Structure 1
Amino acid sequence: MTPTEAYAALVRRSKEIGIIHSCAALLSWDQQTYMPPQGARWRGEQMAYLSALAHQKLADPQVGEWLAQVESSTLTADPQSDEAANIREWRRSYERAIRVPAALVEELARVTTAAQQVWQEAKAQNRYKAFQPHLERIVSLKREEAHALGYSGHPYDALLDEYEPGMTTEEVRSLFTHLTRELTPLIQRWSESARRPDTSILRRDYPVERQRIFAEAAAAALGFDFSQGRLDVTAHPFCTGIGPGDCRITTRYNPRYFSEAFFGVLHETGHALYEMHLPAEHAGTPLGTACSLGIHESQSRLWENQVGRGRPFWEHFFPRLQQTFPHALADISLETFYFAINEVRPSLIRVEADEVTYNLHIVLRFELETEMLTGNLQVADLPGAWSEKMQQYLGLTPPDDTQGCLQDIHWSFGGIGYFPTYTLGNLYAAQFMAAAKAQLGDAELMRDFRNGQFRRLREWLIDHIHRHGQRYRAQELCQRATGEPLRTEPLLTYLREKYEPLYGS
C-alpha cells in the first residue's frame, strides 16, 4: 500500500467513526428531548455499543500501520496542508484510544447514560443522595481513564486534553488566578453600586409561544438556517451537530422570566453557526471538526454577550420586542431594558449568571472537579464543599442542592475537564471580537448591528475560525486570528468599558 492509499484508508476509517459519533449524537439529542424516561436503560446499551464500536475502529492496529506509512511520507512535508493536519489529529486520537481499554469506554457510556436520567430526577427532587453513587462511579471511572491516558503533571491534564487539546491544568489555573484577582474588586464595586437596574421588568408575563417566535427570529437574523437545524425544549439547553445539514439547538422557556430562554437561544445559536460553517467536504475528519470546546464556547459567548447584550443589538430589536410583548414592555425604555439585561449581581445558577460573575462559577467547578479527581474531595462531601466555595467566591450559600451541586448536567455525562472551556471561551470571545472590530471597523460593525445586519461579523468568524476545523490548535488559531496568544486583558478591558458607564467607575 502506498502512502496515498494509506491516507485514503485513514479518511474512510475517520468518516466511518464520524458516522458512528453522529448516530450517538442523535441518540443523545433524543434522550434529552423526546425519549420516554423508561427508555434510559436500553439507551445506555445503545450508547455503550456505539462507543465501543467507535473505539474499536479507532484503536485498530491497522490504523497505527497506516499512520506510520503516511507520517514518513511527503504528505506531512507541509505542516499546514490538509493531509498533515488530519494526520496530526488522527495520531493524537489514536494514541488516546489505544491507551484506554475498550471495556472502560463501554462502561463509561453505559454508566453515564443511566446517570443522566438519575441526575435529572435528583435535581427535580433535590435528592443528591440519589445521584451520589452514580457520581462516585463516574469519578472512579474518569480517574481510571486519566491514569490509562497518562499525564506528566496533574491527572486532570489527561481529561482536559479531550476538550482543550494541548492545554494543561497549570495553564488554566494561571489564567483563572489572574482573572479572579482582577474580577473580584470589579464585581464588588459594581454589585454594591447605588445605581441598580430594575430587573423586575424581565420577570413579567412573557407568553412562551411569543418567546419562541421572537427567539427564532433573532436566531435567524444572526444566521441560523432552519432548513439545516431546529429548536426544541429540554431541561438543559445545548447544541448538537448531527452532521452536515443537521444541527439541533434547545432551550427552556420560563413564562415569567424573559432572559432565560432568549439568551440561551443566542448562546446555542453561536454554537450552531460554528457547526453549520465547518467545511462539509471534510465532515468526519479533523478538518471538518471544531478546533476545541474553548473555541466552540467562544462562538456562543460572543453572540450571546458581546453582540446580544450590547446596546446596538437592542437598538434594532427592542422596538420589535415591545411589539411582541406590549403588556410587559410598553412602559419600558431601551435604556431601562439594556441596564436590566446587564445587571451585575452574584447569583446561584451558572446559566443565569451575568457575564462578569459567570467566570467565578467556572473557577469554582474547576477547583472542585480537580479535587474530586485526585481524591482530596470525596464525592459524599461535594454539597458542603460547593457551599463553601460559593460563599468564598460569590458570597452566597445555596438553600438546596438543586440550586447547588446538582444544577449542571456535565458530571452526569462524565464531562470532567469540560467546565474550564466556558471561561476559556469568554477569553477567546473577547480577543476575537476585539480583532474583528480592529479589522472591520468598530463604528462600522456597531452600525451593522443597529441595522440588524450581522453578515460581516459572521463572515469574519467563518474566515478566521470556522472554516479551519482542526487545522490549527486553539492557541495557534487565536494567534493567527488576533495576532496575540490568549490573554485575560481583552476580556477585562471589554467588561470595564461596558460596565463602568452603567455602574460608575
Structure 2
Amino acid sequence: MTKTAETKLAELKLRLLEISDLAGAGALLGWDQSTYMPRGGAPARARQGATLSKLAHEKSIDPALGKLLDELAPYADDLPYQSDEASLIRVARRDFEKAIKVPSAYVARASALGSSSYDAWTRARPANDFATMRPFLEQAVELSREYAGFFAPYQHVADPLIDAAEEGMTTASIRSLFAELRSELQPIVRAIAEQPVPSDGCLRGSFPETTQLDYSLLVVKQFGYDLDRGRLDKTHHPFCTKFSTGDVRITTRVDEKLFGDALFSTMHESGHALYEQGVATALDGTPLGSGTSVGVHESQSRLWENVVGRGRAFWEHFFPILQDRFPDQFRRTSFETFYRAINKVQRSLIRTDADEVTYNLHIMMRFDLELDLLEGSLRVKDLPEAWRARMRTDLGVTPDGDRDGCLQDVHWYAGSVGGGFQSYTIGNILSAQFYAAALNACPGIPAEIAKGKFGTLHGWLRKHLYEHGRKFQPGEVVMQATGGPMSIEPYLAYLRTKYGELYHLPPTGEGNRRASTGGR
C-alpha cells in the first residue's frame, strides 16, 4: 500500500473516530437518563440527545467522507478480505451509503421522540396508562414508515427496519423462519401444558437487594465480565451499553420478593458485555468496533443467561454458593426443586419473564403486530385489544390491563416500531448453534462449567466471534464459527433434550430442515 493510501486510511480513521465519539457521548446521556438522571432533566436530555445524533449523522454523510472511501476502494480490493483495513473500508462504505439516504433533520426528530417517549413510558406503564403513550406510539409508527421510505423501493415496509438490525434479512425470510419454528414449538408447548405446573414457591420470599446484586456480580465476574472496564447499575428495563472497549456497562432490576429477576437479567446483559469487551482493541473507535448484528448479539445474551445460566452443570457449582448467601431462603430447598423452578414452563403474560419454550411465541406475536401497525391494518388506538386477542390465541392467557399487555416492552416507546423483536428469536436459535459448535471443538466445557470455570467457553467465543466485531456479516460469522448457515436444528435439539428430561416428553423426530441465513 502506498504512503498516499496510508495517509488516506489514517484520515478515514480520524473521521470515523469523531463519529464514534459523538455516538459514545450520546450513549452516555442515554445511560444516565435510564439510571440516575433526575426527572426534571428529561426535556433538556431529549434536546441534547437530538443535537448529538444530528451532529454525528452530519459527519456520517459528509461528502468528503464519501470521496475518501471512493479513493480507498481500489486499495481495499488488493487487500485480503478478512484484513482490518479492507473490512473497515468495506463496512464504512456500506454505512455511508445507508446514512446518506437519511436526512439529518429526521435523525434529530427520531432521537428527540425516543427520549421523550421513553421518559413518559417510565411513568405510564406503572400507571397502566396507555392513553398517555398513544400519541407517542402513533408518532413512532409514522417515523418508522418515513424511515422505510428513504430506502424505497422495498418488498415490505418493514424490510429496511429489519435490514438495519439483521443485514440481508427481510419480512419474507423472517416470516418463513417463524412459521417453521412455530410448527415445531407448538407441539412441545402443548405436551408440557398438559402436565402439572411445577412449583416455583422456593423463588418467592424475601431476598435483600444488596445480596442479590452481590451474587449476580459474583456470577458474571466468573463468566469473564471485566469490572475494570464495566459496572452494574439499576434501571427500569435492563440493557447493556458501550462507550468504548474500555467502558461497557450493564444494568439490571431487582425484585426483593422474587429471586431470579436480577440474576438472570444480569447474566443476560453480561452476555452482551462479554461480546463488546471481547472486540479486538484495534477496532475500537471504528464502525468495526461492535457486534455484527442484533441477532448475533442476542445469541450471546441468551447463551449466557439460558444455555449456561439455566443449565444443570452451572447450578451444580453455584447452588451451594446460593444456599450460603441466602441460608434462610434456600437451605431447605433441594437442588432438583430449585432447578425445576428456574426452568418452569408456563404460559405467561410477560415476555422478559417467559420460559425458554414459550418465549418465542411472545416474539412472533409482537412481530406480527408491528407489521400490522406499519402496514396500517392495525391502528394504534386498537392495539390494546389486538394484543389481548393475540395473547388469548397464541398463549392462552389474557392481561387484565395494558401494564402487562402492550405497555410491557420499552421497544415501541423508544421512538421506533419494527425491525427489533425478531432479533431475540434469531438470538435464541444462534445461541444453541454457537454453543453446539463450541462443545464440538471443546467437549470438556460442561465439566468445566460444573466447577465454575468458564475460560474455555469464553475463549472459544472470543476467538470465533467476539474479536471480529463487525468485520464480517452475520451469515459469514455463523458460517465461519459453526461450519454452516443458521439452522433451527441445534436449538430444537437443545430444547427437546433439556425439557424432554424435565417433563418426561416422548422422543420426537427432529427432521433435517434448515432455516434461512442472514445472507452476505
Where on the TM-score scale, by shorter chain, does this alignment land: which range?
Answer: over 0.9
Q: CA deviation at 1:413?
A: 1.5
User: Amino acid of the residue matched to residue 445 of structure 1?
Assistant: I
Alignment of 1:418 onto 2:420: yes
Q: CA deviation at 1:3?
A: 3.5
User: Amino acid of the residue matched to residue 38 of structure 1?
Assistant: G
1 CA distance for matches of 2:346 and 2:368?
22
2 CA distance for matches of 1:316 and 1:469?
32
2 CA distance for matches of 1:486 and 1:278?
22
User: Amino acid of the residue matched to residue 131 of structure 1?
Assistant: M
CA contact (8 A) 1:478 1:486 kept: yes
CA contact (8 A) 1:289 1:469 kept: yes
User: Amino acid of the residue matched to residue 235 of structure 1?
Assistant: H
User: Which SS does the other structure have where 1:288 is aligned?
Assistant: coil
CA contact (8 A) 1:279 1:287 kept: no
Partner residue in 1 for 2:287: 286
Aligned pairs (5 A) from 1:330-409: 330-409=331-410
- Alignment gaps of 5+ in structure 2: 506-520
Q: Give a deviation string over 1:72-117, Cα, whole Å, max 9, x none.
A: 3355543222222112211121111111111111111111110001
Partner residue in 2 for 1:491: 491
User: Which SS does the other structure have where 1:249 is aligned?
Assistant: strand
1 CA distance for matches of 2:267 and 2:75?
45
User: Which SS does the other structure have where 1:232 is aligned?
Assistant: strand
Partner residue in 1 for 2:237: 236
Q: CA deviation at 1:151?
A: 4.5
User: Amino acid of the residue matched to residue 424 of structure 2?
Assistant: Y
User: Amino acid of the residue matched to residue 82 of structure 1?
Assistant: D
CA contact (8 A) 2:91 2:288 kept: no
Alignment of 1:34 onto 2:36: yes
Partner residue in 1 for 2:126: 124
CA contact (8 A) 2:46 2:111 kept: yes
CA contact (8 A) 2:125 2:403 kept: yes
Partner residue in 1 for 2:64: 62
2 CA distance for matches of 1:65 and 1:242?
28
User: Amino acid of the residue matched to residue 478 of structure 1?
Assistant: V
Q: CA deviation at 1:390?
A: 1.0
1 CA distance for matches of 2:421 and 2:445?
31
Alignment of 1:102 onto 2:104: yes
Q: CA deviation at 1:322?
A: 0.7
Partner residue in 2 for 1:479: 479
Q: Give a deviation string over 1:50-75, Cα, whole Å, max 9, x none.
A: 01001100111111111111113355
Partner residue in 2 for 1:48: 50
CA contact (8 A) 1:219 1:269 kept: yes
User: Which SS does the other structure have where 1:149 is aligned?
Assistant: coil
User: Which SS does the other structure have where 1:248 is aligned?
Assistant: strand
Partner residue in 2 for 1:208: 209
User: Which SS does the other structure have where 1:287 is aligned?
Assistant: coil
Deviates more, 1:480-489 or 1:411-420: 411-420
Report the RMSD for the aligned CA atoms in angstroms: 1.3
Q: Give a deviation string over 1:167-219, Cα, whole Å, max 9, x none.
A: 1111111111111111011011112214x422011112211111111111111
More helix by share: 1
User: Which SS does the other structure have where 1:155 is aligned?
Assistant: coil
Partner residue in 2 for 1:460: 460
2 CA distance for matches of 1:2 and 1:164?
35
Deviates more, 1:205-214 or 1:334-343: 205-214
Partner residue in 1 for 2:440: 438
User: Which SS does the other structure have where 2:260 is aligned?
Assistant: helix
CA contact (8 A) 2:76 2:90 kept: no
Deviates more, 1:151-160 or 1:13-22: 151-160
Q: CA deviation at 1:348?
A: 0.5
1 CA distance for matches of 2:385 and 2:76?
57
Alignment partner for residue 113 of structure 2, among 101, 111, 114? 111
Alignment partner for residue 427 of structure 1, among 426, 429, 433? 429
TM-score norm. by structure 2 comes to 0.95
CA contact (8 A) 2:313 2:449 kept: yes
2 CA distance for matches of 1:260 and 1:45?
33
Partner residue in 1 for 2:512: none
CA contact (8 A) 1:239 1:247 kept: yes
Partner residue in 2 for 1:255: 256
Q: Give a deviation string over 1:123-156, Cα, whole Å, max 9, x none.
A: 0110101000011011101110110123432121
CA contact (8 A) 1:24 1:50 kept: yes
User: Amino acid of the residue matched to residue 67 of structure 2?
Assistant: E
Deviates more, 1:418-427 or 1:166-175: 166-175
Deviates more, 1:107-116 or 1:145-154: 145-154
User: Which SS does the other structure have where 1:451 is aligned?
Assistant: coil
Alignment of 1:199 onto 2:200: yes
Change (3 A) 1:235 1:76: farther
- Alignment gaps of 5+ in structure 1: none
Alignment partner for residue 152 of structure 1, among 151, 154, 157? 154
2 CA distance for matches of 1:357 and 1:105?
36
User: Amino acid of the residue matched to residue 145 of structure 1?
Assistant: Y
CA contact (8 A) 1:346 1:357 kept: yes
User: Which SS does the other structure have where 1:401 is aligned?
Assistant: coil
Q: Give a deviation string over 1:336-375, Cα, whole Å, max 9, x none.
A: 1001100111110011001111111111111111111121
CA contact (8 A) 1:164 1:294 kept: yes
CA contact (8 A) 1:4 1:70 kept: no
CA contact (8 A) 1:151 1:157 kept: no
2 CA distance for matches of 1:202 and 1:191?
21
Q: Give a deviation string over 1:287-341, Cα, whole Å, max 9, x none.
A: 3221111111101100000100000100000011011111111111111100110
Q: CA deviation at 1:407?
A: 0.5
Partner residue in 2 for 1:135: 137
Partner residue in 1 for 2:170: 168
Q: CA deviation at 1:10?
A: 1.6
Q: CA deviation at 1:286?
A: 2.7
User: Amino acid of the residue matched to residue 50 of structure 1?
Assistant: L
2 CA distance for matches of 1:83 and 1:365?
39
Partner residue in 2 for 1:309: 310
User: Amino acid of the residue matched to residue 465 of structure 1?
Assistant: L
1 CA distance for matches of 2:453 and 2:369?
42
Q: CA deviation at 1:285?
A: 1.3
1 CA distance for matches of 2:176 and 2:214?
43
CA contact (8 A) 2:76 2:89 kept: no
User: Which SS does the other structure have where 2:231 is aligned?
Assistant: strand
Segments ≥4 residues shifted beyond 6 Å: none
